[in-house]
Structure 1
């Protein structure tokens, strides 16, 4: 089963990552100074992941594909891993759409 993992990084910022049922990281957040902000970020992913227009499809300087999920205000909520192909990136987007709404949150 897919899940959100919430954790503190080495700078004591709160972050989350959405992992697929196979353990692969699908989406990762920026750092939040407060746990409540991180929890709000997770809720924002759940909500905004259901609107395809919130996914910004991009290509890195080394020609890898990735996407950002944006909130209604245009702020990036999460960024994907790098994909070799556009098709792989689209599969990642579909996985976020499918898994994010029901994924439980686990503190690690």
Structure 2
């Protein structure tokens, strides 16, 4: 099962969404409070629709941004070497994020 992991480093809270295989498929920006990070996770879960993903190719790497209805980026992908791998990452988020459990490592 996919898992959101909350961590705390350098005075900031972050989430990583890990797929079943343990790989990170999406990460957050830094949040100043744990509550804000938890709200970010809820926003990811609520915005798992295909139109909320912006794919890109930059500096020889593929990736995606997960965008909320208000246009804010709520998550960024890891970098991929192929468009197919990036697209698979999007599918993992779409399929698994809405029901992913949350693990607090902070």
Bin of the TM-score, shorter chain as denominator length: over 0.9
Who is 2:15 aligned against? 16
Aligned residues: 105
> Structure 1, unaligned stretches of length 5 or more?
none
> Structure 2, unaligned stretches of length 5 or more?
none
* Cα distance in 1, alignment partners of residues 51 and 20 from structure 2: 25
Alignment of 1:17-96 (within 5 A): 17-49=16-48, 51-61=49-59, 63-96=60-93
Cα deviations across residues 13-72 of structure 1 (Å, max 9, x unaligned)?
1110100011000000000001111001000100111x11110001122x1100000011
* Cα distance in 1, alignment partners of residues 7 and 61 from structure 2: 27
Higher strand share: 2
Deviation at 1:12? 1.4
Normalised TM-score (structure 1): 0.94
Normalised TM-score (structure 2): 0.96
